Structure 1
Amino acid sequence: MTNAIIRQNRETVARFLAGTHSANIEDVAVIDETVVPHIVCHGFPGFPDGEFRDRESYKTFFRVFRQSFSDMSFSTLKTIATEEFVSAHWEIWATHSGEFRNIAPGGARVVFDGVALYRMEDGKIAETWLTINEPLLLSQLGKGAERAA
């Protein structure tokens, strides 16, 4: 049973990441299938104290993020899963095409990574801790298209 739970948790997070980082932003609807209604999220830029507690805010985060960064290429570098948690180390390449953290878009091609830790409940994401390599990302913004080319 343990291996089945771990496999289910890993598959849920993989579906979540594929949908929320898809070229079709409407794929964020995957949140309704993979996240509990009482989700708790920590470390999300753009929210008071980086926190929120509902699926619609989760969708909003990804929609706003996609307005700030286009031509996105998302890769999961490593996933570790247990019965209760899934951790994903990821990398994003994107174009800064909309305002982010009050920095006007300059068309810079950026690359940054981060880690998300997901606490699972009955095969769905119940809590997320997000850590973005923000110093790396911010160092590339507002610099024009010559960055991370």
Structure 2
Amino acid sequence: MSHDHASSSPVLSVGERDAELSRRLSDGLDEVNYPATGTTAADQTSLSVKVVDAAGDVVAGLTGWTWGGLLGIEMVWVREDSRGDGWGSRLLLAAEEEGRRRGCDRACVSSFTFQAPGFYQRHGYVETGRTLGFPGGAEDVHMFKEFDRSA
């Protein structure tokens, strides 16, 4: 019995992360997102800020991206023995400076309630909303900041 692909029914499957599927979805969304925002793939670039000790071990780091004038902060982490040494602020300020250099005039970040929303708020970020229902009763706090035009 032969199967005519055009007339066969689509099949739904569930599994672990699928790198090929992630690439296909990203490409498909880019086809919609770039025209809708007036940007191109060239307008979106990754960003990282890293602090290493004398042994080359990571002390602190920040990852994110810039896209169409927006700096997006994805992850910020400071090694436990270096917390309270000001690395978080230095990472954030360095990322914002690089964002400005790339033409950004605003930034966004989210932080779980058990992480550091107050840290970002002390740096001028304003809460714009929350995603509820995370384990342990946590919430994901979404924040936004417009950069001072004179900076």
User: Where on the TM-score scale, by shorter chain, does this alignment land: which range?
Assistant: under 0.3
Q: Which has the larger radius of gyration?
A: 2
- TM-score, normalising length: structure 1: 0.23
TM-score (norm 2): 0.23
